[in-house]
Amino acid sequence: MRASRGDKHISGSERLLDVQEMEDAVSQLLRRALDHPRGRAGHISITVQPVPIAQIRNCSLLPLMTHQVKNCQQGLDRARELLIQAGLKAEIVEQSMALLAAGPSPQGGVMRGAMLIDPASGARLEPDQGSGVRVSRMDLSPESRRPVAQFLSSCGLNNQRVIEAWILASKVALYPQIVAELCWSDDPDYVTGYVASSEGGYQRITHLKEAGSDIGGRIFFVKPATEVLTLINYLRHEPVLFRLPVNVEG
Ligand code: WAQ
Ligand code: MG
């Protein structure tokens, strides 16, 4: 589902479902698009495409942890540390975080997809810098929904936003050429974001922006010499269903 008003991105969401689950899912997505903290959508599109079961991979979600920070400054410092631990140069981290905070589309606004950044040069690699790259065709496997909900409830985090971000980050981190991801929401009422990587897991940080700001987005840091079109094809099209990581009790 994608919702917008004029050039402004309002909301989007991706699911990978059995046919019999679609009707409920579509009405939930429609409700989300119509009633969104970024404002009322003018245009809503819901696209449904068939995915052959034989193409679907089954994988584990990244381990999840939360860094409690007191304010946005502490949160950004923590994100910086985690990205440097993931192998990125301080200077590129600084530059990329500033770009995300400023609104990375050419008009200075929010993109509906992610930026791809080469951490050697800081160059942006996504072919369309106005819209970025949207990751799609990922979800929980049907038998994992209950254990994931139970696990997240035990952490006080059982909501669709955390579930969707955790799944997205897990799909992105599966790709061997991804070094790390940085994300915070574009919803003015949601200040938690994360740094994710295959080694470091899904590391939530409780404040990454000031409340009230509607600037947010995602950066995928991509190893130098990555075949960008193959990466984009993976992100957009390759279907993956997720289960809890093995060290988590459902
Ligand atoms: N593919 C690529 N980029 C996306 C996608 C996608 N499927 N969905 C969203 N984005 C980009 C886009 O630029 C949005 O403006 C931006 O990310 C933020 O999207 O554990 O809610 O859906 O507490 O507002 C993270 C923390 C919340 C969750 C992220 O993002 C937690 C969030 P939002
Ligand atoms: Mg949003």
Q: What does each of the 250 residues of the chain score in pLDDT, given as a tens digit?
A: 999 999 899 999 999 999 999 999 999 999 999 999 999 999 999 999 999 999 999 999 999 999 999 999 999 999 999 999 999 999 999 999 999 999 989 888 899 999 999 999 999 999 999 999 999 999 999 999 999 999 999 999 999 999 999 999 999 999 999 999 999 999 999 999 999 999 999 999 999 999 999 999 999 999 999 999 999 999 999 999 999 998 775 4
Classify strands 115-117 and 217-222 as parallel, antiparallel or unpaired: parallel
Which secondary-structure segment (H or E) carries 173?
helix 160-174
Residues 6+ apart with CB under 8 A from 162: 152
For residue 139, how far is the Cα from the chain centroid? 12
Residues, Cβ < 5 Å to ion ligand 2: 186-187
**How many angstroms does the Cα of residue 90 sit away from the middle of ligand 2?**
27
Atom index in ligand 1 nearest the CA of residue 135 equals 1
Query: What residue's CA is closest to ligand 1, atom 17?
Result: 217
Q: What are the two backbone dihedrals, phi and then psi, of residue 11, each rounded to the nearest 5 degrees?
A: -165, 155
Query: Is the CB of 217 within 6 Å of ligand 1?
Result: yes
What's the rounded Cα separation, in Å, for the pair 228 and 125? Answer: 7
pLDDT score at 213: 95
38, 66, 112, best to mutate for ligand 1 pocket (most atoms within 8 Å of CB): 112
103 lines ligand 1 (CB under 6 A): no
Task: Compute the distance between CA of residue 26 and CA of residue 47 in angstroms, rounded to an integer.
Answer: 10
